[in-house]
Amino acid sequence: MKAGIIGCGFIGNELAIFIDKSKELRLIGVNDIDKKKANDLVKRLKNNKPKSMELNDLIKKCDLIIESATKNVIKEILSNKNLDKSNKSLLIMSTGGLINNFNLLNKIKNCRIYLPSGAIAGLDAIKTVSGRIKSLTLTTTKPIKGLKDAPYILKKRINLEKIKTGKVVFEGNLKDAVNRFPQNINVAATLFLASKFRNIRVKIIADPDTKFNTHEIKAVGDFGEINAITRNMPSKNTKTSYLAVLSAINILKTLKNNVRIGN
């Protein structure tokens, strides 16, 4: 299967290294608005040397397109005329980019779309009770460094360095959370896609005393309660949990599996 990666940051590099060792996948193209990042990624690979491609060429030539850039590129990918083919698959890491582009997502009829569970647990259970949920909350706690330069933090001029103990820096609805913390809260978008529950409440806590990215989900309905807590070690990119990378790698490992566990 010919693969291409859009976005050559930490996640893109990790997935490229995995594919470079794979017998089932062959990386033929990479894309990044920063050409140096794309070229540096290619240099790191040992078994195969993909080409740096324009986004349209990559989508046209690859069977598997992997998005690991930012939510801002999702619209361009979903609207590309070469995407919706029966022989193509798209793996999306920046699920927050789907929130404002459901009209484009719903038009895709042939291309298979994969959304990794990312940094959270419990999505199988949440999908199972979709339509029966009465309340759903996501509480995310991150180290100070993981929230640095988030648009909301900058706009509100929140001085993270002055926070001495865990403090709520945001509380609101899903759409606001995704737009105001675009690099921190893809888990909220993924949770919505699994639950189809429109009134998710999101709370974000900055904690100088933690080293984990912690995501706590609580769903209540006539089925009872679902509670899931995941404490993730940050990756080299402090805004990203390493579990998010492992989740994507697991999808790549199981693309051709006949037996699948869970929903």
Q: Mean pLDDT per 10-residue run, the chain (263 residues)?
A: 97 97 96 97 95 97 97 97 96 94 96 94 95 97 94 96 96 93 88 96 97 96 97 86 94 83 64
Strands (E), 176-263: 201-206, 213-221, 224-232
Say which amino acid occupies 95: T
What is the C-alpha separation between 230 and 117, in angstroms, rounded?
12
CA distance linking residue 89 with residue 207, whole number of Å: 38
Picking from 245, 261, 249, the residue whose alpha carbon sits closest to that of residue 25 is: 249
Q: Which residue has the tokens 């349209």?
A: 56
- Is residue 117 a contact partner of residue 241, using CB atoms and an 8 Å limit? no
Q: What is the pLDDT of residue 263?
A: 56
User: Superfamily for 123-239?
Assistant: Dihydrodipicolinate Reductase; domain 2 (3.30.360.10)
Instruction: Give first-to-last CA distance, the chain, whole Å.
Output: 24
Annotated domain spans of the chain = 2-115, 123-239
What is the C-alpha to C-alpha distance for residues 108 and 148, in angstroms, rounded to an integer?
A: 35
Dist. CA 232–CA 255, nearest whole Å: 25
Return the pLDDT at 256: 81
Q: For the purposes of burial, counting CB atoms within 10 Å of the CB of 19, is it exposed (0-12), middle (13-18) or buried (19 or more)?
A: buried
As its CATH architecture, domain 2-115 has 3-Layer(aba) Sandwich (3.40)
If 0-12 CB within 10 Å is exposed, 13-18 middle and 19+ buried, where does residue 149 land?
A: exposed
Annotated catalytic, 141?
Answer: no
User: What length is written for the chain?
Assistant: 263
Taking the C-alpha atoms of residue 218 and residue 224, their distance in angstroms, rounded to an integer, is 11
Distances (CA, A) of 98 to 70, 153, 178, 187: 11, 23, 10, 12
Q: Do domains 2-115 and 123-239 have the same CATH topology?
A: no
Q: Report yes or no: 113 and 89 within 8 Å, Cβ to Cβ.
A: yes
Asked if residues 225 and 218 have their Cβ atoms less than 8 Å apart, the reply is yes
Q: Name residue 93's amino acid.
A: M
What are the E-state strand segments in 100-223?
112-114, 133-142, 167-173, 201-206, 213-221
pLDDT (0 to 100) of residue 259:
73
Question: Measuring CA to CA, how many Å separate 86 from each of 57, 157, 233, 263?
Answer: 17, 48, 37, 22
DSSP annotation of 99 reads T
Which residue among the candidates 37, 60, 180, 215 is catalytic per the annotation? 215
Instruction: Enter the pTM of the model.
Output: 0.93
